[in-house]
Structure 1
Amino acid sequence: MSYSILLVDDDEVNHDIAKTMLGESHNYFSAHNGEEALALFHERKYDAILLDVVMPGMNGYEVCKAIRSDISNSDTPVLFVSSKDCIEDKLEGFKAGGDDYITKPFDADELSFRIDRLVKFSSEIDTLKVNCEAAEEVTLTAITSCSELGLCLEFIENSYQCNTLADLSSAILAVCRNLDLNASVQLGLLGEFRDFCNFGVINPLESELLKKGRESKTVINIEKRSFFNSAYCSLLIKNMPIDDDEKYGRFNDILALVVRGADARLKSLETNIQAIQAKNKGLRELSQVASKDLEDIELIFKNYNQSCQELVETLIFDVEDSIVSFGMSEAQEQTLRETLDGAKEDLQKIQEHSEDMSATFNDFFIKLDKLID
């Protein structure tokens, strides 16, 4: 395999030796001091750098540190070449950022092996970096998607607590605000629809577009504007992220779920309202029947009381008219009259009690009618 190799050594002979050992298949670039090496380094990217340690001016360690400080190509493999074999020199090379260290004299196979290993290692590092960047991007996307999906799930959960159009619209618009979206929404129950928005007011044209979109029951995308529609709900987004395909796709899915959730809640509310209305209708009809029956009973009872009153008065008159023929003493006559008067008073109390009961029933039906309404 052909490599691009930067040879850095103050001795031209060492350049020739390295080229001979590595062969003519590679592209070589020669520098004879540190300054020249850095100048060549910044001109292009190399597969490997053979760097002599002992040089006039900048030594190899200083050159390597300068290479590692370059943000663009700081990962270029560096192989130190030196006649020094002590551990301190090798440690100094690794501290400077070197990837390998070979001591003179060395043979061609060892040099070729070291170069191949460094290039392969560098390639694997580049692959890992690319994979890591891709993994980070996927992870970030997954985290973002989970967060956005969490908003959708939170809305669906909260929607079960919404019992009015205003409550449900607030929950929908809260999702849109958290997604930095400008939204208008049209919601309806029992054929009556209302408009809501999270900025300003809805103009008549937008309201008409929401109505037309709702009747279509589909998703309509027109550049940055998108309509998400169902039978009970129509949502207009004015600033969809059309420049970000991935984000645009996520938002489409999330907002479609939000509208479907809102539609389901509105259907449930409408069903409950219709059930309550049917129950109230039955109660109202029952109240009307009971009230009519009570009026009939009250009339019958009044007639009965009137008859009883007339009967008692006739009885008292007849008794008083016949007292003389009974041959009773004055005390007996007085006792009899008091008994008759007491019976008359008792009858009047019974009549008054029945009137109180009638008033109580009338009050009950009045309250029942108000409750139903």
Structure 2
Amino acid sequence: MNDKPLVLIVDDDLFMLDFIFDALSETCNVITAENGKTALQLVQQQRPKLVLADVKMPEMDGYELCRQIKNDFDISDTPVLFLSALDGIEDRLQGFDVGGEDFVLKPTNPKVLQAKVAHVLQLIEERQQLKSQAQYATNTAMLAMVSMSETSLLIEGIKRFNNCSVPLDLAQALISAITLFEVDSVVELILSEGSSIAINARGPASALETSIMHHMSTMDRITQFKSRMAITYPHIRVLISNMPEHDDDRCGRLRDNLAILIESTEYRLEALNIMMKTRERDITIAATIKSLTQALSQIDQKQREGRTSIAIILNNITSRIEAALVGLQLTERQESSLVNIVCHGLEEVSNTIIADADFQDQLSNAIKALQNTINNA
């Protein structure tokens, strides 16, 4: 493999052309041109590492050749070394103005010429390395700035999820967050009861969009086909329709960022489902407590009414027995014995009612506590 640098020599003096060719051919691949016009074409076609140009040439001299090389964007990095018998300050300034590297005086010593060319080629190599390093640093810095910007968009999108209290709001927030990354999407949320919400930025998703998401959901978690990409989680399906398929770096970052965004949405949807179930359970419990409280309150009222009725009945029984004893013409002993039996029985009934009254008071207190809980909820 020939790794010698390609050097172009331009001189209308054929003797000087052969002389320089012989001096450099051992360390360089040398090509030659006898005029500026031909030299410019060779530079454009073969892109030599270095051009050695005679200053004094007809039609296009070395200065004009250098100027045209520097004005051509594609070859403007090509260094030019001037060959001249003149070494005045004006000549050097003119060479500097057109972008030349240095002067080599005629007639020249082959060793000096070789050293000058080697030095310029070394400078060129160092410049290219520095340029490459600078470009790498610039690209790294730009990538870091882009990543920071995309991270900010990611955080902003996730923050929006915290304000969502129902699944539809969450689906719309996810659409909005994905739009921040300058891509279009269709989002489907699978709800706990088996139903779903499918929308895009314009409103409800079309049947075709939904069918594509259903089909791609059977594939890998992240599936990309040209500019379309599907990301599937247990309760969320997302279809991106305009992935930058020709920009591999951005495509990769988008896959990562959107996957994080959708996974965060999955967690928020699970939290919403739990909140909804908890809310439904609380409503059911509250309704049950209210119904139980009403039933117990009615029982309490009936029992209190029953106790009052029993007390009245007992009093009536006592009065009727006393009235009946007067007409029976019993002896005092018989009357006393019968009255004792009746009073003893009534006393037992009264004691039972009093015992029930304590339980009744406890029940009433429990009912009042339940009512206070319902009123304060």
Q: TM-score, normalised by structure 1?
A: 0.71
Counterpart in 2 of 1:64?
Answer: 66
TM-aligned CA deviation for residue 98 of structure 1: 0.6
TM-aligned CA deviation for residue 197 of structure 1: 1.4
The superposition leaves residues 300-338 of structure 1 with CA deviations (integer Å, 9 ceiling, x where unpaired) of 67789999xxxxxxxxxxxxxxxxxxxxxxxxxxxxxxx
Q: Structure 1 residues 23 and 240, CA, compared in 2 at 3 Å: closer, same or farther? A: closer
1:227 aligns with 2:230: yes
1:93 aligns with 2:61: no
1:161 aligns with 2:189: no
Counterpart in 1 of 2:123?
Answer: 121
Counterpart in 2 of 1:7?
Answer: 9
1:64, 1:298 → 2: CA distance? 113
Q: Greater CA deviation, 196-205 or 94-103?
A: 196-205
TM-aligned CA deviation for residue 51 of structure 1: 1.9
RMSD between aligned residues = 3.7
TM-aligned CA deviation for residue 157 of structure 1: 1.9
1:247, 1:256 → 2: CA distance? 14
TM-aligned CA deviation for residue 113 of structure 1: 0.8
> What amino acid maps onto 2:252 in structure 1?
G
1:125, 1:231 → 2: CA distance? 55
**Alignment map for 1:241-252 (pairs within 5 Å):** 241-252=244-255
1:113, 1:34 → 2: CA distance? 25
Of 184, 207, 210 in structure 1, the residue corresponding to residue 210 of structure 2 is: 207
The superposition leaves residues 140-189 of structure 1 with CA deviations (integer Å, 9 ceiling, x where unpaired) of 44433433333222222221111112221112111332334332212144
1:227, 1:37 → 2: CA distance? 56
Counterpart in 1 of 2:266?
Answer: 263
The superposition leaves residues 74-107 of structure 1 with CA deviations (integer Å, 9 ceiling, x where unpaired) of 2222111222233332222112111112233432
**Alignment map for 1:312-323 (pairs within 5 Å):** none
1:273 aligns with 2:268: no
1:99, 1:9 → 2: CA distance? 17
1:285 aligns with 2:296: no
Q: Structure 1 residues 40 and 218, CA, compared in 2 at 3 Å: closer, same or farther? A: closer
> What amino acid maps onto 1:54 in structure 2?
K
TM-aligned CA deviation for residue 241 of structure 1: 3.6
TM-aligned CA deviation for residue 216 of structure 1: 7.8
Counterpart in 2 of 1:340?
Answer: none
Of 43, 46, 55 in structure 2, the residue corresponding to residue 44 of structure 1 is: 46
Q: Structure 1 residues 12 and 148, CA, compared in 2 at 3 Å: closer, same or farther? A: same
Of 180, 183, 186 in structure 1, the residue corresponding to residue 185 of structure 2 is: 183
SS at match of 1:157: helix
> What amino acid maps onto 1:96 in structure 2?
V
2:223, 2:5 → 1: CA distance? 55
Q: Structure 1 residues 231 and 12, CA, compared in 2 at 3 Å: closer, same or farther? A: closer
TM-aligned CA deviation for residue 112 of structure 1: 0.3
Counterpart in 1 of 2:36?
Answer: 34
Query: How many pairs does the alignment contain?
Result: 320
Counterpart in 1 of 2:197?
Answer: 194
2:92, 2:4 → 1: CA distance? 28
1:230, 1:210 → 2: CA distance? 12
1:210, 1:12 → 2: CA distance? 75
2:23, 2:285 → 1: CA distance? 104
2:226, 2:42 → 1: CA distance? 50
SS at match of 1:156: helix
2:226, 2:37 → 1: CA distance? 55
State whether residues 186 and 211 of structure 1, in contact with CA within 8 Å, keep that contact through their aligned partners in structure 2.
Answer: no
> What amino acid maps onto 2:151 in structure 1?
L
Unpaired segments of 5 or more residues in structure 1? 308-360
1:286, 1:217 → 2: CA distance? 48
TM-aligned CA deviation for residue 63 of structure 1: 2.3
Q: TM-score, normalised by structure 2?
A: 0.70
Q: Percent identity?
A: 27
> What amino acid maps onto 2:255 in structure 1?
N
2:172, 2:95 → 1: CA distance? 65
The superposition leaves residues 17-39 of structure 1 with CA deviations (integer Å, 9 ceiling, x where unpaired) of 32343345644444444344434
The superposition leaves residues 245-300 of structure 1 with CA deviations (integer Å, 9 ceiling, x where unpaired) of 33333222222212211110011122222223333333222222222333345556
State whether residues 164 and 170 of structure 2, in contact with CA within 8 Å, keep that contact through their aligned partners in structure 1.
Answer: yes
1:217, 1:58 → 2: CA distance? 65
The superposition leaves residues 172-224 of structure 1 with CA deviations (integer Å, 9 ceiling, x where unpaired) of 11133233433221214432422211246423454355457668893344454
Unpaired segments of 5 or more residues in structure 2? 311-366
1:55 aligns with 2:47: no
SS at match of 1:150: helix
Q: Structure 1 residues 169 and 292, CA, compared in 2 at 3 Å: closer, same or farther? A: same
Q: Structure 1 residues 10 and 174, CA, compared in 2 at 3 Å: closer, same or farther? A: same
SS at match of 1:273: helix
